A and B are shown apart, each in its own frame.
Chain A
Amino acid sequence: MTRNPPQDAIGTHPGGTWGKACMSELAPIAPELLAAVARGEDPAWEEFVALLQPQIHAIIRRQVRDTRDHEDLSQEVLTKIFVKLDQFAGREDFRHWVSRITLNTCYDWLRKRKVRPLSTYADLGEEQARIIEETTTRDEPAENLDHELVLETLHSLIDTLKPREQIVIRLLDLEDLSVREVCQRTGWGASKVKVTAMRARRKLAALLEQHDPDRPR
């Protein structure tokens, strides 16, 4: 059913980090385990799910804010991985392949959802507007700043973007990944990622400009 990828292709992490801390120490997936999963061995399948779940859950959690959908998305991703396992050519890190399937599933989900709750700056809550003003008018963040609220505001702003822009900007700006790493994890080309990021940042800048206190009205 499946082709056995070469030993050195799976389980290595050539890129080093997986973004934020929780992605950095993931156990490699052994080729023998993949072969056992493809043969339908139950204990192997259980181990496989347990190994992949933290990675899948971490990606979904960062891309999709509605926690009610996380479990359904995890199931969808694992199903896709199981069904497409024989298509894994073994030329890349298996975890990158998993990452690509997960991000593309999130992308499809965001596209289907098509809800952009915030379209102008005026739609922001009073608290969020205040936090933007507090943050952007200072050179350094205030000590007593509510960081959770800032993050919530960032997500509200990112939610106004197109699905692909949301994914790219979250990976580049919130997870601190390089363009190369984003390409590895999404399967999108570098120029596409760069152009998408540029458009997204332009839109976000235009949105923030609406609130610039020095802006002539």
Chain B
Amino acid sequence: MNDSHDSWKKLVRAAKPALDRDAANPPPAPPVGRLKRAVEAIVLTLTWRKWALAAALLAAIIATAVYFLHRDDEPERPLIEPEPPLSEELP
């Protein structure tokens, strides 16, 4: 196992010049303007989504409240309807 650990270390050591070269000459990063615009668009989408969710929740709460208020306003019906008077015309 130690030999294999040494093998790993040797590989890392052999790759050092390439790592140093890569660090010294990094490839060009994406343009700042494009990145800024993209992030702004994402943040705007997230903001809209957040507000849309809040609005939907608020609407649901209002609808529920209105429903219960209206239901309470309806005149209460007796649980047992009075029986209709018996007809006197019996056979």
A residues neighboring B (CB under 8 Å) = 20-22, 45-46, 49-50, 53-54, 57-58, 61, 67, 70-71, 74-75, 78-79, 82-83, 132, 135-136, 138, 141, 145, 147-148, 150-151, 153-154, 157, 173-174, 201-202, 204-206, 208-209, 212
A21: which of B7, B24, B29, B33 is its contact (CB, 8 Å)? B24
Complex contact A151–B19 (CB within 8 A): yes
User: CB-CB < 8 A to B4: which residues of A?
Assistant: 204-206, 208-209, 212
Q: How far is the CA of A150 from the CA of B1 in the complex (A)?
A: 21
Contacts of B39 in A (CB 8 A): 49, 75, 78-79, 82
Q: Check B12 against A61 for contact (C-beta < 8 Å).
A: no
Main secondary structure of the interface of B (DSSP, over half): helix
Give chain B nearest CB distance to A2 CB in angstroms: 15
Number of A-B contacts (CB under 8 A): 113
**A67: which B residues are within 8 A, CB to CB?**
27
A208 and B1 contacting across the interface, CB-CB below 8 Å: no
Closest to B29 in A: A57
User: Scoring B residues 1 to 22 as 1 if CB is less than 8 Å from chain A, else 0, what string do you get?
Assistant: 1011111101111111111111
In the A-B complex, the 5 residue pairs with the smallest Cβ-Cβ separation, listed nearest first, are A205-B4, A20-B23, A147-B18, A136-B7, A57-B29
Q: Which residue of chain B lies nearest to A20 when distances are taken between CB atoms in the complex?
A: B23
Question: Are B1 and A136 interface neighbours, CB within 8 A?
Answer: no
Residues of B with Cβ closer than 8 Å to A? 1, 3-8, 10-24, 26-27, 29-30, 32-33, 35-36, 38-40, 42-43, 46
| Chain B: minimal CB distance from A139 (Å) | 8
Beta-carbon contact of B8 and A204 below 8 Å: yes
Are A22 and B1 in contact, CB atoms less than 8 angstroms apart?
no
Given contact pairs A22-B24, A53-B30, a sample of 14 additional A-B residue pairs in the complex whose CB atoms are under 8 Å apart: A20-B23, A46-B32, A46-B33, A53-B32, A57-B26, A61-B27, A74-B30, A75-B39, A135-B10, A141-B10, A147-B16, A150-B11, A150-B14, A209-B1
